[in-house]
Amino acid sequence: MRNSELSMQRAISPIGLYSAGVFSLITKELKTYAEEFDRLSERIDDILTECFVDTAFGEGLAWYEEQYGPVRTDCLTDDRRAMIRTLLSVGENDFTPQGVERFFRSIGFECEITEYPQFYELYILPEQRIYTRAEQDLIIARAKAFLPCHLNVHIEFRTADWDDYDDLELSFDEWDDLSMTWDKLDRYEGE
C-alpha cells in the first residue's frame, strides 16, 4: 500500500461512514487517487530538486544555463553548478578586473583580460579552446548584457596563430593578393 493511499484510509477510518475493505468501492477509489497523488508527489520532489543549484542535475541546470549563460553539457555536473553559483554571486560592485574575470569563468569562458581604463576599453582573449560561431555570439551577448555600456569590449576569437600562418608557406605577395582584413585573416584556413 502506498503512502498516500494509507494516509487517506487512516483519515477516513475514524469517521465510520465508509467500509474500507480490500474490495470495497471506496478502497478502489482511494487507490485511483493514490496513484495520481504519488505521481504528483514524485514530480514535486523532482521540481524541488531541480529548483536549487546545489541539487539540480537535469532540467534545472539547463534552465539556469539558458537564463544566465551557455548550456554546458560538455562539463561535469559539479562544474556546471560551480559556474552558475559564480554567476549568481556577481553583483553590481563586481565591475573590477577580478569581478569581470569571475563573470567570464561563470559562463565557461576562460580568458585573459587586458584593460585600458584611459580609453574605456577591454581586450579579451580566450585562453584555450576554439569556439563555434554560435558560442561566440552567445558569449558576446552575455558580455554586452553584463558589462557597463560605456566600455568598448573587444573579444578576439582567433582560430589560428602565427605558427599556423607560417605553416601555410605563403610569400608576402601571396598573402597580399588575398586582400584580407585582419578579421578574415584570423579565420583563414587555407584553400
- Please give the residue range of the domain that contains residue 22: 3-51
pLDDT band at residue 174 using 50, 70 and 90 as cut-offs: confident
Whether the pLDDT of residue 66 is over 60: the answer is yes
Task: Say if residue 65 is in the same domain as residue 142.
Answer: yes
Across the strands, what pairs with 124?
Answer: 113, 155
The answer on 78 and 41 residing in a single domain is: no
Residue 116 lies in a domain: yes
Contact in structure between 101 and 92 (CB atoms under 8 Å): no
Q: Is 191 part of any domain?
A: no
Q: 113 and 43 share a domain?
A: no
pLDDT surpassing 90 at residue 55? yes
* Sequence-distant (≥ 6) Cβ neighbours of residue 41 within 8 angstroms: 3, 4
Q: Using 50, 70 and 90 to split pLDDT, how confident is the model at 50?
A: very high
- Note whether 63 and 151 are same-domain residues: yes
Domains: count for the chain? 2
- Bigger pLDDT: 20 vs 94: 94
On whether both 70 and 145 belong to a single domain, the answer is: yes
- For 9-49, how does the pLDDT look when each residue is reduced to its tens digit (9 = 90+)? 777 766 666 666 666 777 788 888 888 998 998 999 999 99
